[in-house]
Homo-oligomer: A and B are copies of this chain.
Amino acid sequence: MKVAKFGGSSMASANQLIKVANIVKDDASRKFIVVSAPGKRYKEDTKMTDLLIDLGKAYINQLPYEHQLNIIMERLTEIVTELDLPRDLLEEFAVSLKEVQKLHPNKESLMDAVKAIGEDSSAKMLSAYLNKIGIHASYVNPKEAGLILSDEPGNAQILPESFDKIRELKEREGVLVIPGFFGYTKEGKLVTFSRGGSDITGSIVAAGVNAELYENFTDVDSVYSVNPAFVPNPKKITKLTYREMRELSYAGFSVFHDEALIPAYHAKIPVAIKNTNNPTAEGTLIVAERDLNGQVVTGIASDTGFCNLFVSKYLMNREIGFGRKLLNIFEDEGVSFEHAPSGIDNMSVIFRERNLPREKEHVIIERIKNELHPDTVSISRGIAIIMVVGEGLVNSIGVANQATEAFTKAKVNIDMINQGSSEVSMMFGIQASDLECAIRSLYQSYFVEKSVVK
Protein backbone atom coordinates (compact mmCIF):
# COMPACT_ATOMS: atom_id res chain seq x y z
CA MET A 1 0.00 0.00 0.00
CA LYS A 2 1.24 3.45 -0.92
CA VAL A 3 0.46 6.94 0.24
CA ALA A 4 0.57 9.52 -2.55
CA LYS A 5 0.61 13.20 -1.80
CA PHE A 6 -0.10 15.76 -4.52
CA GLY A 7 1.21 19.28 -4.11
CA GLY A 8 -0.34 22.60 -5.08
CA SER A 9 0.80 22.60 -8.70
CA SER A 10 -0.78 19.12 -9.14
CA MET A 11 -4.12 20.48 -7.89
CA ALA A 12 -3.99 23.86 -9.62
CA SER A 13 -6.51 23.21 -12.40
CA ALA A 14 -8.97 20.72 -13.86
CA ASN A 15 -6.29 19.59 -16.26
CA GLN A 16 -3.89 18.87 -13.43
CA LEU A 17 -6.58 17.00 -11.46
CA ILE A 18 -7.09 14.76 -14.48
CA LYS A 19 -3.36 13.90 -14.43
CA VAL A 20 -3.61 13.16 -10.71
CA ALA A 21 -6.61 10.91 -11.24
CA ASN A 22 -4.74 8.99 -13.94
CA ILE A 23 -1.77 8.51 -11.63
CA VAL A 24 -4.11 7.14 -8.95
CA LYS A 25 -5.78 4.90 -11.50
CA ASP A 26 -2.47 3.58 -12.83
CA ASP A 27 -1.45 1.88 -9.61
CA ALA A 28 -4.03 0.07 -7.49
CA SER A 29 -1.71 0.18 -4.48
CA ARG A 30 -2.12 3.99 -4.29
CA LYS A 31 -4.83 3.77 -1.65
CA PHE A 32 -4.20 6.89 0.46
CA ILE A 33 -4.23 10.19 -1.40
CA VAL A 34 -3.30 13.40 0.42
CA VAL A 35 -3.83 16.70 -1.38
CA SER A 36 -2.73 20.32 -1.14
CA ALA A 37 -4.89 23.33 -1.97
CA PRO A 38 -4.87 24.45 -5.63
CA GLY A 39 -1.52 26.11 -6.37
CA LYS A 40 -0.37 28.41 -9.13
CA ARG A 41 -1.51 27.68 -12.71
CA TYR A 42 1.14 30.00 -14.12
CA LYS A 43 3.98 32.02 -12.68
CA GLU A 44 2.03 35.16 -11.79
CA ASP A 45 -0.97 33.27 -10.45
CA THR A 46 -1.98 33.38 -6.76
CA LYS A 47 -2.16 30.22 -4.69
CA MET A 48 -5.55 29.32 -3.21
CA THR A 49 -4.05 29.42 0.28
CA ASP A 50 -2.96 33.05 -0.23
CA LEU A 51 -6.44 33.95 -1.49
CA LEU A 52 -7.88 32.34 1.63
CA ILE A 53 -5.46 34.20 3.91
CA ASP A 54 -6.66 37.47 2.35
CA LEU A 55 -10.25 36.44 3.00
CA GLY A 56 -9.38 35.48 6.57
CA LYS A 57 -7.79 38.89 7.16
CA ALA A 58 -10.85 40.64 5.81
CA TYR A 59 -13.07 38.60 8.15
CA ILE A 60 -10.82 39.25 11.17
CA ASN A 61 -10.60 43.00 10.52
CA GLN A 62 -14.28 43.21 9.61
CA LEU A 63 -13.51 44.65 6.20
CA PRO A 64 -15.38 44.06 2.92
CA TYR A 65 -14.68 40.53 1.73
CA GLU A 66 -16.94 40.02 -1.26
CA HIS A 67 -14.12 40.50 -3.74
CA GLN A 68 -11.89 37.84 -2.16
CA LEU A 69 -14.81 35.47 -1.84
CA ASN A 70 -15.63 35.90 -5.51
CA ILE A 71 -12.09 35.14 -6.69
CA ILE A 72 -12.01 31.98 -4.58
CA MET A 73 -15.40 30.80 -5.81
CA GLU A 74 -14.36 31.53 -9.40
CA ARG A 75 -11.33 29.26 -9.13
CA LEU A 76 -13.34 26.46 -7.56
CA THR A 77 -16.15 26.91 -10.06
CA GLU A 78 -13.70 26.67 -12.95
CA ILE A 79 -12.39 23.30 -11.74
CA VAL A 80 -15.83 21.88 -10.87
CA THR A 81 -17.22 23.01 -14.22
CA GLU A 82 -14.34 21.79 -16.36
CA LEU A 83 -14.41 18.40 -14.63
CA ASP A 84 -18.19 18.36 -14.88
CA LEU A 85 -18.58 17.55 -11.19
CA PRO A 86 -21.93 17.78 -9.33
CA ARG A 87 -22.86 21.47 -8.81
CA ASP A 88 -23.85 20.89 -5.18
CA LEU A 89 -20.09 20.72 -4.38
CA LEU A 90 -19.92 24.42 -5.18
CA GLU A 91 -22.82 25.19 -2.91
CA GLU A 92 -21.11 23.26 -0.14
CA PHE A 93 -17.92 25.32 -0.65
CA ALA A 94 -19.84 28.60 -0.66
CA VAL A 95 -21.59 27.68 2.56
CA SER A 96 -18.40 26.72 4.36
CA LEU A 97 -16.62 29.88 3.17
CA LYS A 98 -19.38 31.97 4.72
CA GLU A 99 -20.25 29.98 7.82
CA VAL A 100 -16.64 29.64 8.93
CA GLN A 101 -16.92 33.15 10.41
CA LYS A 102 -19.72 32.20 12.77
CA LEU A 103 -18.21 28.88 13.75
CA HIS A 104 -14.86 30.39 14.80
CA PRO A 105 -15.28 33.57 16.80
CA ASN A 106 -11.61 33.44 17.93
CA LYS A 107 -9.23 35.15 15.45
CA GLU A 108 -6.48 32.52 15.33
CA SER A 109 -8.99 29.68 15.02
CA LEU A 110 -10.80 31.56 12.29
CA MET A 111 -7.62 31.98 10.22
CA ASP A 112 -6.74 28.30 10.51
CA ALA A 113 -10.26 27.27 9.59
CA VAL A 114 -10.35 29.58 6.53
CA LYS A 115 -6.96 28.35 5.28
CA ALA A 116 -8.02 24.71 5.63
CA ILE A 117 -10.86 25.20 3.12
CA GLY A 118 -8.28 25.08 0.31
CA GLU A 119 -7.13 21.53 1.02
CA ASP A 120 -10.61 20.46 2.03
CA SER A 121 -12.21 21.49 -1.25
CA SER A 122 -9.28 19.98 -3.21
CA ALA A 123 -9.93 16.63 -1.55
CA LYS A 124 -13.67 16.79 -2.17
CA MET A 125 -13.20 17.64 -5.86
CA LEU A 126 -10.62 14.92 -6.45
CA SER A 127 -12.73 12.34 -4.66
CA ALA A 128 -15.75 13.30 -6.77
CA TYR A 129 -13.74 13.13 -9.98
CA LEU A 130 -12.23 9.72 -9.13
CA ASN A 131 -15.74 8.37 -8.62
CA LYS A 132 -16.82 9.94 -11.87
CA ILE A 133 -14.12 8.01 -13.79
CA GLY A 134 -15.06 4.78 -12.05
CA ILE A 135 -12.69 4.59 -9.11
CA HIS A 136 -14.29 3.88 -5.75
CA ALA A 137 -13.01 6.81 -3.67
CA SER A 138 -14.11 8.59 -0.50
CA TYR A 139 -13.27 11.96 0.96
CA VAL A 140 -12.02 11.45 4.52
CA ASN A 141 -11.98 14.40 6.88
CA PRO A 142 -8.78 14.59 8.99
CA LYS A 143 -10.89 14.27 12.16
CA GLU A 144 -12.31 11.00 10.86
CA ALA A 145 -8.80 9.97 9.70
CA GLY A 146 -7.44 10.46 13.22
CA LEU A 147 -5.14 13.45 12.84
CA ILE A 148 -5.09 14.68 16.44
CA LEU A 149 -2.86 17.75 16.80
CA SER A 150 -1.52 19.99 19.55
CA ASP A 151 -3.43 23.23 20.16
CA GLU A 152 -0.96 25.50 18.34
CA PRO A 153 -2.85 27.28 15.57
CA GLY A 154 -0.71 27.73 12.46
CA ASN A 155 2.05 25.53 13.83
CA ALA A 156 0.38 22.44 15.27
CA GLN A 157 2.26 19.21 15.99
CA ILE A 158 0.97 15.67 15.63
CA LEU A 159 0.09 13.88 18.90
CA PRO A 160 1.38 10.31 19.25
CA GLU A 161 -2.08 8.80 19.76
CA SER A 162 -2.93 9.71 16.16
CA PHE A 163 -0.95 6.87 14.62
CA ASP A 164 -3.09 4.05 16.10
CA LYS A 165 -6.22 5.79 14.92
CA ILE A 166 -4.80 6.32 11.41
CA ARG A 167 -3.86 2.63 11.17
CA GLU A 168 -7.60 1.79 11.25
CA LEU A 169 -7.97 3.51 7.87
CA LYS A 170 -6.43 0.40 6.30
CA GLU A 171 -9.70 -1.44 6.94
CA ARG A 172 -11.71 0.92 4.77
CA GLU A 173 -12.53 0.08 1.20
CA GLY A 174 -11.52 1.99 -1.89
CA VAL A 175 -9.27 4.99 -2.36
CA LEU A 176 -9.28 7.45 0.54
CA VAL A 177 -8.73 11.13 -0.30
CA ILE A 178 -7.56 13.13 2.70
CA PRO A 179 -7.01 16.89 2.73
CA GLY A 180 -3.49 17.80 3.89
CA PHE A 181 -2.34 20.65 6.12
CA PHE A 182 -4.84 20.43 8.97
CA GLY A 183 -6.17 18.29 11.77
CA TYR A 184 -8.09 18.73 15.03
CA THR A 185 -7.18 19.18 18.66
CA LYS A 186 -8.45 16.71 21.28
CA GLU A 187 -11.22 19.25 21.96
CA GLY A 188 -12.20 19.12 18.29
CA LYS A 189 -10.85 22.52 17.22
CA LEU A 190 -9.49 22.75 13.67
CA VAL A 191 -5.75 23.66 13.58
CA THR A 192 -3.19 23.71 10.77
CA PHE A 193 0.45 22.72 10.50
CA SER A 194 2.95 25.36 9.43
CA ARG A 195 2.78 26.50 5.80
CA GLY A 196 3.46 23.71 3.32
CA GLY A 197 2.18 21.24 5.88
CA SER A 198 0.39 18.89 3.45
CA ASP A 199 3.76 17.13 3.17
CA ILE A 200 3.50 16.50 6.92
CA THR A 201 0.00 15.03 6.63
CA GLY A 202 1.21 12.67 3.91
CA SER A 203 4.18 11.56 5.97
CA ILE A 204 2.01 11.01 9.06
CA VAL A 205 -0.52 8.95 7.13
CA ALA A 206 2.32 6.92 5.57
CA ALA A 207 3.73 6.20 9.03
CA GLY A 208 0.27 5.45 10.47
CA VAL A 209 -0.70 2.89 7.83
CA ASN A 210 2.91 1.67 7.57
CA ALA A 211 2.93 2.27 3.82
CA GLU A 212 5.46 0.50 1.59
CA LEU A 213 6.15 3.89 -0.02
CA TYR A 214 5.27 7.54 0.49
CA GLU A 215 5.05 9.20 -2.93
CA ASN A 216 5.36 12.93 -2.98
CA PHE A 217 4.14 14.27 -6.32
CA THR A 218 5.40 17.70 -7.24
CA ASP A 219 6.41 19.46 -10.48
CA VAL A 220 10.05 18.41 -10.82
CA ASP A 221 11.40 15.18 -12.27
CA SER A 222 13.80 14.67 -9.40
CA VAL A 223 16.06 16.27 -6.87
CA TYR A 224 19.14 17.63 -8.63
CA SER A 225 22.69 17.32 -7.39
CA VAL A 226 23.10 21.08 -7.57
CA ASN A 227 20.88 24.11 -8.11
CA PRO A 228 20.00 24.15 -11.85
CA ALA A 229 20.10 27.94 -11.70
CA PHE A 230 23.89 27.69 -11.33
CA VAL A 231 24.68 24.63 -13.45
CA PRO A 232 22.61 23.74 -16.54
CA ASN A 233 21.25 20.17 -16.63
CA PRO A 234 22.91 18.94 -13.48
CA LYS A 235 23.02 15.25 -12.57
CA LYS A 236 19.78 13.92 -11.09
CA ILE A 237 19.85 12.24 -7.72
CA THR A 238 18.00 8.94 -8.03
CA LYS A 239 18.52 7.78 -4.45
CA LEU A 240 19.65 9.45 -1.27
CA THR A 241 19.36 8.91 2.47
CA TYR A 242 17.13 10.85 4.85
CA ARG A 243 20.13 12.54 6.39
CA GLU A 244 21.54 13.53 3.02
CA MET A 245 18.18 15.07 2.19
CA ARG A 246 18.20 16.93 5.52
CA GLU A 247 21.64 18.39 4.97
CA LEU A 248 20.75 19.44 1.44
CA SER A 249 17.43 20.97 2.44
CA TYR A 250 19.14 23.03 5.16
CA ALA A 251 20.94 24.95 2.49
CA GLY A 252 18.46 25.69 -0.21
CA PHE A 253 17.08 22.36 -1.46
CA SER A 254 13.47 23.16 -0.70
CA VAL A 255 11.71 20.26 -2.39
CA PHE A 256 10.30 19.19 0.88
CA HIS A 257 8.94 20.52 4.15
CA ASP A 258 11.67 19.86 6.74
CA GLU A 259 9.42 18.50 9.45
CA ALA A 260 7.61 16.36 6.92
CA LEU A 261 10.35 13.77 6.82
CA ILE A 262 10.22 13.01 10.55
CA PRO A 263 7.29 10.57 10.69
CA ALA A 264 8.52 8.72 7.57
CA TYR A 265 12.06 8.70 8.97
CA HIS A 266 10.98 7.20 12.28
CA ALA A 267 8.84 4.56 10.57
CA LYS A 268 11.63 3.95 8.00
CA ILE A 269 9.24 4.44 5.09
CA PRO A 270 10.94 5.27 1.78
CA VAL A 271 9.86 8.56 0.25
CA ALA A 272 9.67 9.04 -3.52
CA ILE A 273 9.78 12.48 -5.13
CA LYS A 274 7.83 12.22 -8.40
CA ASN A 275 6.54 14.57 -11.11
CA THR A 276 2.78 14.76 -11.70
CA ASN A 277 3.52 16.14 -15.17
CA ASN A 278 5.92 13.32 -16.04
CA PRO A 279 4.95 10.40 -13.84
CA THR A 280 7.10 7.86 -15.68
CA ALA A 281 10.33 9.73 -14.82
CA GLU A 282 12.42 7.79 -12.31
CA GLY A 283 12.19 10.46 -9.61
CA THR A 284 14.23 10.51 -6.42
CA LEU A 285 13.98 7.95 -3.65
CA ILE A 286 14.78 8.88 -0.05
CA VAL A 287 15.76 5.87 2.05
CA ALA A 288 17.37 4.99 5.37
CA GLU A 289 20.42 3.35 3.81
CA ARG A 290 21.84 3.06 0.33
CA ASP A 291 24.79 1.63 -1.59
CA LEU A 292 27.54 4.13 -2.34
CA ASN A 293 28.18 3.09 -5.95
CA GLY A 294 31.52 4.87 -6.01
CA GLN A 295 29.99 8.35 -5.92
CA VAL A 296 31.27 10.04 -2.79
CA VAL A 297 29.32 13.29 -3.07
CA THR A 298 25.56 13.19 -3.61
CA GLY A 299 24.73 16.86 -3.85
CA ILE A 300 25.99 20.38 -3.34
CA ALA A 301 23.56 22.76 -1.68
CA SER A 302 23.97 26.43 -0.92
CA ASP A 303 22.13 29.26 0.70
CA THR A 304 22.81 32.94 1.19
CA GLY A 305 21.79 35.33 3.95
CA PHE A 306 24.12 34.25 6.72
CA CYS A 307 26.26 36.41 8.95
CA ASN A 308 29.14 35.69 11.29
CA LEU A 309 29.74 37.27 14.67
CA PHE A 310 33.38 36.96 15.61
CA VAL A 311 34.65 37.37 19.17
CA SER A 312 38.27 37.10 20.26
CA LYS A 313 39.79 37.38 23.68
CA TYR A 314 43.30 36.55 24.70
CA LEU A 315 43.30 33.35 26.79
CA MET A 316 39.56 32.85 26.17
CA ASN A 317 39.89 29.10 26.49
CA ARG A 318 41.08 29.43 30.08
CA GLU A 319 38.04 31.51 30.99
CA ILE A 320 35.54 28.94 32.18
CA GLY A 321 32.03 29.45 30.82
CA PHE A 322 32.95 32.14 28.27
CA GLY A 323 31.16 30.36 25.42
CA ARG A 324 28.10 29.67 27.50
CA LYS A 325 27.86 33.28 28.64
CA LEU A 326 28.15 34.42 25.03
CA LEU A 327 25.37 32.11 23.88
CA ASN A 328 23.23 33.15 26.86
CA ILE A 329 23.28 36.74 25.59
CA PHE A 330 21.70 35.60 22.32
CA GLU A 331 19.11 33.57 24.17
CA ASP A 332 18.31 36.56 26.40
CA GLU A 333 17.84 38.72 23.32
CA GLY A 334 15.67 36.12 21.62
CA VAL A 335 18.11 35.63 18.75
CA SER A 336 18.63 32.10 17.50
CA PHE A 337 21.92 31.06 15.95
CA GLU A 338 22.99 28.24 13.66
CA HIS A 339 26.52 27.21 14.69
CA ALA A 340 29.17 28.26 17.15
CA PRO A 341 32.57 26.91 16.15
CA SER A 342 35.42 27.93 18.45
CA GLY A 343 39.17 28.32 18.13
CA ILE A 344 41.58 28.69 21.03
CA ASP A 345 40.98 32.32 21.90
CA ASN A 346 38.06 33.07 19.62
CA MET A 347 34.58 32.03 18.76
CA SER A 348 32.42 32.47 15.67
CA VAL A 349 28.68 32.46 15.85
CA ILE A 350 26.86 31.91 12.57
CA PHE A 351 23.34 33.33 12.17
CA ARG A 352 20.76 33.54 9.44
CA GLU A 353 20.68 37.28 8.80
CA ARG A 354 16.90 37.33 9.17
CA ASN A 355 17.39 36.20 12.79
CA LEU A 356 19.83 39.01 13.59
CA PRO A 357 18.18 42.27 12.55
CA ARG A 358 20.42 45.33 12.51
CA GLU A 359 18.63 46.92 15.47
CA LYS A 360 19.52 43.86 17.57
CA GLU A 361 23.11 43.86 16.33
CA HIS A 362 23.96 47.01 18.25
CA VAL A 363 22.37 45.80 21.49
CA ILE A 364 24.14 42.45 21.30
CA ILE A 365 27.56 43.90 20.50
CA GLU A 366 27.26 46.34 23.41
CA ARG A 367 26.28 43.55 25.77
CA ILE A 368 29.20 41.39 24.65
CA LYS A 369 31.58 44.31 25.16
CA ASN A 370 30.23 45.17 28.60
CA GLU A 371 29.71 41.69 29.95
CA LEU A 372 32.55 39.68 28.41
CA HIS A 373 35.27 42.31 27.78
CA PRO A 374 36.56 40.71 24.59
CA ASP A 375 39.59 42.00 22.69
CA THR A 376 37.56 42.27 19.48
CA VAL A 377 33.99 41.71 18.43
CA SER A 378 32.72 42.17 14.89
CA ILE A 379 29.97 41.04 12.54
CA SER A 380 30.39 40.24 8.88
CA ARG A 381 27.30 39.92 6.71
CA GLY A 382 26.62 38.65 3.21
CA ILE A 383 27.94 35.15 3.81
CA ALA A 384 26.87 32.14 1.78
CA ILE A 385 26.95 28.60 3.15
CA ILE A 386 27.79 25.68 0.91
CA MET A 387 27.06 22.12 1.99
CA VAL A 388 28.87 19.31 0.19
CA VAL A 389 26.76 16.28 1.07
CA GLY A 390 27.30 12.55 0.67
CA GLU A 391 27.17 9.31 2.64
CA GLY A 392 30.58 8.53 1.17
CA LEU A 393 32.35 11.46 2.80
CA VAL A 394 33.34 9.64 5.95
CA ASN A 395 36.70 7.94 5.64
CA SER A 396 37.31 9.21 2.11
CA ILE A 397 40.86 10.46 1.84
CA GLY A 398 41.13 13.47 -0.40
CA VAL A 399 37.50 14.48 -0.49
CA ALA A 400 38.12 17.70 1.46
CA ASN A 401 41.11 18.39 -0.72
CA GLN A 402 38.93 18.10 -3.80
CA ALA A 403 36.67 20.80 -2.38
CA THR A 404 39.42 23.20 -1.35
CA GLU A 405 41.05 22.69 -4.74
CA ALA A 406 37.79 23.63 -6.44
CA PHE A 407 37.58 26.82 -4.38
CA THR A 408 41.19 27.66 -5.21
CA LYS A 409 40.60 27.09 -8.94
CA ALA A 410 37.61 29.42 -8.75
CA LYS A 411 39.85 31.94 -6.89
CA VAL A 412 37.38 31.96 -4.02
CA ASN A 413 38.54 32.67 -0.48
CA ILE A 414 37.11 30.26 2.11
CA ASP A 415 35.96 32.11 5.23
CA MET A 416 34.98 29.00 7.14
CA ILE A 417 35.30 25.23 6.96
CA ASN A 418 33.38 22.96 9.30
CA GLN A 419 34.12 19.34 8.59
CA GLY A 420 33.75 16.34 10.82
CA SER A 421 30.85 17.33 13.02
CA SER A 422 28.60 15.70 10.43
CA GLU A 423 29.41 12.34 8.91
CA VAL A 424 27.64 13.19 5.68
CA SER A 425 28.55 16.78 4.96
CA MET A 426 31.24 19.43 4.85
CA MET A 427 30.19 23.02 5.40
CA PHE A 428 31.96 25.99 3.83
CA GLY A 429 31.37 29.70 4.34
CA ILE A 430 32.28 32.13 1.57
CA GLN A 431 31.28 35.62 0.42
CA ALA A 432 27.86 35.47 -1.24
CA SER A 433 29.25 37.27 -4.31
CA ASP A 434 31.54 34.27 -4.96
CA LEU A 435 28.76 31.72 -4.70
CA GLU A 436 27.98 30.95 -8.33
CA CYS A 437 31.64 30.63 -9.26
CA ALA A 438 32.36 28.34 -6.33
CA ILE A 439 29.36 26.09 -6.94
CA ARG A 440 30.26 25.64 -10.61
CA SER A 441 33.82 24.73 -9.72
CA LEU A 442 32.71 22.25 -7.05
CA TYR A 443 30.21 20.65 -9.42
CA GLN A 444 32.87 20.36 -12.10
CA SER A 445 35.22 18.66 -9.67
CA TYR A 446 32.84 16.22 -7.98
CA PHE A 447 30.48 15.38 -10.84
CA VAL A 448 32.34 15.99 -14.08
CA GLU A 449 36.02 15.28 -13.41
CA LYS A 450 35.38 12.98 -10.43
CA SER A 451 39.08 12.90 -9.60
CA VAL A 452 40.31 9.81 -7.83
CA VAL A 453 39.16 9.51 -4.26
CA LYS A 454 40.02 6.46 -2.20
Contact = CB atoms under 8 A, between A and B. Distances in A.
Interface of A: 242-243, 246-247, 250, 258-259, 261-262, 265-266, 308, 310, 312, 314-315, 317-318, 320, 323-324, 327, 331, 336, 338-348, 387, 395-398, 400-401, 403-405, 407-408, 411-423, 425-427, 429, 454
A303 to B, nearest CB: 12
Nearest to A453: B408
A114 B405 CA distance: 58
Contacts of A414: 400, 419-420
29 contacts: A243-B312, A243-B314, A250-B317, A259-B315, A265-B314, A317-B338, A320-B336, A339-B341, A340-B340, A340-B342, A341-B341, A343-B425, A343-B427, A344-B387, A346-B421, A397-B412, A397-B413, A398-B404, A400-B414, A401-B401, A401-B405, A405-B405, A415-B420, A416-B419, A416-B421, A417-B417, A417-B426, A418-B420, A420-B429
A400 to B, nearest CB: 5
B416 A250 contact: no
A343 B416 contact: no
Contact of A246 (B314, B398, B454): B314
Given A246-B314, A404-B404, A422 B343 contact: yes
A344 B416 contact: no
How many copies of this chain are found per oligomer?
2
B397 A417 contact: no
Contacts of A342: 339-341, 421
A318 B51 CA distance: 29
Given A414-B419, A416-B421, A420-B417, A344 B246 contact: yes
Nearest to A324: B327
Contacts of A411: 397, 454
A312 B412 CA distance: 31
Of A395, A408, A426, the most chain B CB neighbours within 10 A belong to A408
A310 B343 CA distance: 18
A250 B250 CA distance: 34
Contacts of A262: 314-315
A264 to B, nearest CB: 11
Contact of A420 (B265, B320, B416): B416
Contact of A348 (B310, B420, B454): B420
A261 B234 CA distance: 54
Given A324-B331, A401-B405, 9 more contacts: A246-B314, A320-B336, A324-B324, A340-B340, A341-B421, A343-B427, A400-B407, A403-B404, A416-B419
B336 A250 contact: no
Contact of A408 (B324, B336, B398, B427): B398
A71 B418 CA distance: 54
Nearest to A407: B401
A343 B247 contact: yes
Contacts of A336: 320
Contacts of A265: 314
Given A246-B344, A339-B342, A342-B340, A395 B413 contact: yes
Nearest to A251: B344
A143 to B, nearest CB: 27
A265 B316 CA distance: 14
Of A312, A339, A343, A400, the most chain B CB neighbours within 10 A belong to A343
B315 A246 contact: yes
A412 to B, nearest CB: 7
B418 A341 contact: yes
A346 B395 CA distance: 17
Contacts of A396: 413
Nearest first, the 3 closest Cβ-Cβ pairs linking A and B are A343-B422, A416-B420, A401-B404
Nearest to A308: B420
A144 B125 CA distance: 95
Of A320, A404, A429, the most chain B CB neighbours within 10 A belong to A404
B341 A423 contact: no
A324 to B, nearest CB: 7
Contact of A344 (B259, B346, B404, B425): B425
Contacts of A408: 397-398, 401
Given A314-B265, A401-B407, A345 B258 contact: no
Contacts of A310: 421, 423
